[in-house]
Structure 1
Amino acid sequence: MNRHFVTLLGVCLLCLLPVLGAAAPLVAKVNVSSQTMTVIQDGEPLYQWPVSTARSGKWTPRGTFTAQWLSRYHKSSLYNNAPMPFSIFFRGNYAIHGTDQVTRLGQPASAGCVRLHPDHAATLFYMAETVGLSNVRVVIEN
């Protein structure tokens, strides 16, 4: 094989490494319109769950975020110590977390976080712990 071709191929592969490494093994994809979350691991959809995002007058951020930190027994410092079990924080005070208001799942009800059934939040939380925060993406779209 031509030495210049091999060198060029090596350079091309090095340029592609950041792109190839950009795919996260765990993605929590939230659709605000349908109030659902699809959990995708290694490109395979595993779960689809009802969620609650921001109620009228509040806002759930849109975009793609990397998980920042986890808190198993979190309580809100902004909303009267409201329980936020299995929290995965992805943008400042915004998190995916369990809720005790399970009857409201499937409709906007939160102050901006993404609420899940506590069992689903626990599943996602432990998956995030397993793959590591740098490998967790939160995608929120309309």
Structure 2
Amino acid sequence: MEVNLTTQRVIAWEGKRWVDAMIVSTGKKSTPTVTGVFNIYLKYRKSSMRGDDYNVPNMPHIMYFHRGYGLHGAYWHNRFGTPVSHGCVNLALDKAKWLYNFATVGTPVVVHY
């Protein structure tokens, strides 16, 4: 899986074969998304996320790839293509579900500009 912070896109790969691409919202300047090579280490169909200035219940299709950073569905906005998150990678609900079903624990996640 590839997260391009410049184009605000996630690309799903199967080996060297491109499978799908989708628009996302990554971290804003004050709370950027981490860059590097990671692996999905934990998946939840639904869970809550809390931080200093947010509390989001019933967040769907979460896939954590580094500490508290994850890819997940976002039902509270539709500003995909614009960095608005606290560092996570926000997807439209249908795209988050598809990606959740596509990826497994251990799937590589490459985050870059």
TM surpasses 0.5: yes
1:133 aligns with 2:105: yes
Where in structure 1 are there 5+ consecutive unaligned residues? 1-27
- Answer with 109-118 or 74-83: which moved more: 74-83
Secondary structure of the structure 1 residue equivalent to 2:64? strand
Question: Which residue of structure 1 aligns with residue 16 of structure 2?
Answer: 43
User: Which amino acid counterpart does residue 62 of structure 1 have in structure 2?
Assistant: T
Secondary structure of the structure 2 residue equivalent to 1:54? coil
1:119 aligns with 2:106: no
Where in structure 2 are there 5+ consecutive unaligned residues? none
Structure with the bigger percentage of helix = 1
Structure 1, residues 24-63: CA drift from partner, whole Å, max 9, x if none? Answer: xxxx201101111111112211111000001131110001
Secondary structure of the structure 1 residue equivalent to 2:18? strand
Structure 1, residues 89-142: CA drift from partner, whole Å, max 9, x if none? Answer: 0011100000014520001010000011111111111112xxx412x0111001
1:91 aligns with 2:66: yes
Structure with the bigger percentage of strand = 2
Number of matched residues? 111
Structure 2: distance between partners of 1:105 and 1:34: 11
Runs of 4+ aligned residues of structure 1 deviating over 6 Å after TM superposition are: none
User: Which amino acid counterpart does residue 110 of structure 1 have in structure 2?
Assistant: S
Secondary structure of the structure 2 residue equivalent to 1:76? strand
Larger Rg over CA atoms: 1
- Aligned CA RMSD, in angstroms, stands at 1.3
